[in-house]
Structure 1
Amino acid sequence: MISNRFSVFSLAICALIAVPASNAGAQSAKSYPKAQGGVITLPSGDISFADRVHRFDEGNPPSKRTAARNPESILGPTDRPKSAGTEILEATTLTLGCRGSITLEFTDNALIDIEGPDLHIWEAGDDVEATFVEISRNGEAWTEIGMVSGSTASLDITGHAVKGASYRFVRLTDAKCASRTGNWPGADIDAVAAVGSAERFVFDAGVLFAFDEATLSNEALTILTRFSDLVGQRQFSRLVIEGHTDSKGSDEYNMDLSQRRADAVRAYLANTPRLAQSDMSIRAAGEREPVADNSTDAGRQKNRRVEVIVVP
């Protein structure tokens, strides 16, 4: 099953469900107004924006306006009107509070390094209030990429990001609370988007492979053929195939298993007619980048996966 918000091939339900039209055209470039004037073009359009709040640590003091304390309001495309009353503006903006922090996750896409700025932050007001920005592949190990402030709302992750890596998490932390009074202490965030954005497809390893094996199942061959037909119709530069496991077993064993599974997917896709000439690489992550809680069966099942990052 493939959802509009998260490109997931869930083989356990049905291998032949058609891709929704809204998702199939999700990579179309689109321009959006910047908070400080002008526009910015996102090559992947609406899927470029953050999709989920991973964590919100509200600052002290927080905003005195209840509407400006909802972290969910900054998810998805920027919806800030050009001119509106205070109540409408507050409903589309999150005030972090003094030294507050929010961690956002990209689910249907991933942040990658491209030429020029890679990340853009919509901040309410005439100027961008000082905010530290960090990125992470797993939500645990963080890399600081700089600070947005003044009129600078875009950052380039070159020199900070691991070459060829994709990142799922962004953390914003209010860096300098100029005043501890008033209705909106700390940075005021409207939206966050990956300018350098790649589409993510996630495959359930439990259906791709037998338990502890790296040989593709018959169902996997059907799904990967459909995937090849879908992606082969798009314009992209390369594919990155990542293997992931749950936390059971040793780290060494899980790294080896994840690599063999990623290699099996790459080998099959490289022999399909539409992707035979494509640039592909593999990456083994083992148990190091979970997307769910490894203490539960349901969480471990989600963590056993193969991701294909389609770099536009």
Structure 2
Amino acid sequence: MKHIALMAALCASVSLASAQTPITYTDSAGGEVLLPLGDLSFADQVVARSVGSGTIATTAELPGATLGSPDYSGNVNDGSFLSLGCDGTVELLFADNALIDVPGPDLYVFEVGPRVEGMFLAISEDGVEWTDVGAITGGRAEVDIAGLSAPGASYRFVRLTDDGEGCGTNFAGADVDAVAAIGTALRFTLDAAVLFDVDSFTLRPEALAEINAVAAQISAANVGSLNVIGHTDSTGSADYNMTLSLQRSASVRAQLLQTTALANLPITTAGRGELEPIASNDTEAGRQANRRVEIIAVPN
């Protein structure tokens, strides 16, 4: 599946937890948004791109222009944004953070250029099953996912689709500079091969140092709660994998609570079994990537 290329980013632990700080960003229309995690709030990777119809200037063809913080200079030829094209789409990944529902707006889309084009937004936990959020425009850059987000859900993927209107320019379709999660949490991903033996939920001795290192990063950040989520590959029955993933998340939770800094922190657990792969289960490398435990750290 298309997420194979994302394994390295998703299986790496966040190393900047203690460096995150709120920053206010300005969009091309002069609007401002405060992002609690600063530069960590932005989409990290392009997952897929479907080029829409119409004319797109060479400087606005690169999907990677949507990543990281907004950098539009006011010059439409500066290469800082992606033109989707009429009915075009782009799918983006949050690797070191997660989009979550918080009171108020949860997502901010930085659209640029002399015209405001509409888009449709969808979000996904696994990049396979999508939740349609609805239409957005440059005049409504802040998006609230309340009522659409499942309780405790953390979204890794965002898809933007041009609405197919007003495409008769040299920059056809909506022009996207950056996408940021206002409602955001830090994401730490631990390799299950380091944590557990095969078919076991008992932590290996070497797992303790790995978990304690992540706990130190979490304690250095302004975190209010944690959700520990176990994942497996598709080997074995779905029921078995669901039970094993929940048992593994419970084992990691218990170890986190052993640390002095996190002893009083609310920590919930969940098991996803084989439901949310980040790579193909058809290869050993893919199955290994899918066997993981994620820690979603929600800031205060």
| 2:165 corresponding residue in structure 1 | 177
Q: Using the TM superposition, give the Cα deviation of residue 126 of structure 1 relative to its aligned residue in structure 2, in angstroms.
A: 4.8
Distance 2:215 2:17 in 1: 13
Query: Quick check: 2:81–2:175 contact (8 Å CA) kept in 1?
Result: yes
For the Cα contact (< 8 Å) 1:7–1:108, is it kept in 2? no
Instruction: Tell me the amino acid that sits aligned with residue 8 of structure 1.
Output: A
Whole-angstrom distance in 1 between the partners of 2:88 and 2:182: 24
1:12 paired residue number: none
Tell me what 1:58 maps to: 51
Helix, strand or coil at the partner of 1:288: coil
Query: Post-superposition shift, 1:62?
Result: 4.7
Matched, 1:78 2:78: no
Return the match for 2:150 from 162, 171, 188.
162
Tell me, in whole angstroms, the C-alpha distance in 1 between the residues paired with 2:19 and 2:72: 21
Q: Determine if contact 2:242/2:274 at 8 Å carries over to the other structure.
A: yes
2:5 alignment partner in structure 1:
none
Equivalent pair of 1:128/1:153 in contact (CA under 8 Å)? no
2:113 to 107, 110, 125: 125
Are 1:87 and 2:77 matched, yes or no? yes
Give the partner amino acid of 2:264: Q
- In the TM superposition, residue 7 of structure 1 has moved relative to its aligned partner by 7.7
Q: Distance in 2 between matches of 1:6 and 1:206?
A: 15
Higher RCO (CA < 8 A, seq sep 6+): 2
Partners of 1:44 and 1:245 in 2: CA distance: 29
Report the CA distance between 1:226 and its aligned residue: 2.4
User: In the alignment, which of 8, 11, 14 is matched to residue 12 of structure 2?
Assistant: 8
Which residue of 2 is the match for residue 15 of structure 1? none
Aligned residues: 292
Give the 5 Å matches for 1:139-288.
139-149=127-137, 151-179=139-167, 181-288=168-275
Q: Which consecutive aligned stretches of 4+ in structure 1 deviate over 3 angstroms post-superposition? A: none
In the alignment, the residues of structure 1 paired with residue 276 and residue 19 of structure 2 have an alpha-carbon distance, to the nearest angstrom, of: 25
Counterpart selection for 1:32 from 25, 38, 56: 25
Query: Match of 2:123?
Result: 135
**Do residues 116 (structure 1) and 104 (structure 2) align?**
yes
Residue aligning to 1:14: none
Counterpart of 2:59 in structure 1 is 67
Percent identity between the aligned chains? 45
For residues 154-185 of structure 1, the C-alpha deviation after alignment (integer angstroms, 9 at most, x for no partner) is 10010000111100000000113223x33111
Give me the TM-score of the superposition, normalised by structure 1.
0.89
Q: In structure 2, how many angstroms separate the alpha carbons of the residues matched to 1:268 and 1:25?
A: 21
Q: 40-49 or 268-277: which moved more?
A: 268-277
Q: Give the Å deviation of 1:61.
A: 2.7
Give the unaligned 5+ runs of structure 1. Answer: 10-18
Q: Equivalent residue of 1:129, what SS?
A: coil
**Do the aligned partners of 2:279 and 2:287 also contact (CA within 8 Å) in 1?**
yes
Paired position in structure 1 for 2:87: 99
User: Is the 1:26–1:46 Cα contact (8 Å) retained in structure 2?
Assistant: no
Provide the C-alpha distance between the structure 1 equivalents of 2:109 and 2:276, rounded to a whole number of angstroms: 25
Unaligned segments of structure 2, at least 5 residues: 1-8
Name the aligned partner's letter for residue 68 of structure 2.
Answer: G
User: Which AA in structure 2 matches 1:87?
Assistant: N
1:126-167 per-position Cα deviation (integer Å, ceiling 9, x unaligned): 554110001000001111112212511110010000111100
With 66-75 and 118-127 compared, the bigger mean Cα shift is at 118-127
CA–CA separation in structure 2 for the residues paired with 1:263 and 1:99: 44
Once the two structures are TM-superposed, the CA of residue 248 in structure 1 deviates from its matched residue by: 1.4
Q: Structure 2: how far apart are the matches of 1:7 and 1:284?
A: 17
Q: Take 1:176 and 1:122, find their aligned partners in 2: how far apart are those partners?
A: 19
For residues 115 and 287 of structure 1, what CA distance do their matches in structure 2 show?
Answer: 31
| Distance (whole Å) between structure 2 residues aligned to residue 227 and residue 99 of structure 1 | 42
- Does the 8 Å contact 2:49/2:63 carry over to 1? yes
Structure 2 letter corresponding to 1:41: L
Tell me the CA shift for residue 290 of structure 1: 1.2
Task: State the Cα distance separating 1:293 from its structure 2 match.
Answer: 1.8
2:298 matched to 1:311? yes
State the alpha-carbon separation in 1 of the partners of residues 281 and 11 from structure 2: 22
Give the whole-Å Cα distance in 2 for the aligned partners of 1:299 and 1:144: 28
Q: Distance in 2 between matches of 1:98 and 1:293?
A: 31
Partners of 2:11 and 2:193 in 1: CA distance: 17
**1 CA distance for matches of 2:134 and 2:208?**
43
> 2:288 is paired with a residue of what secondary structure?
helix
Distance change (3 Å), C-alpha of 1:8 and 1:76: same
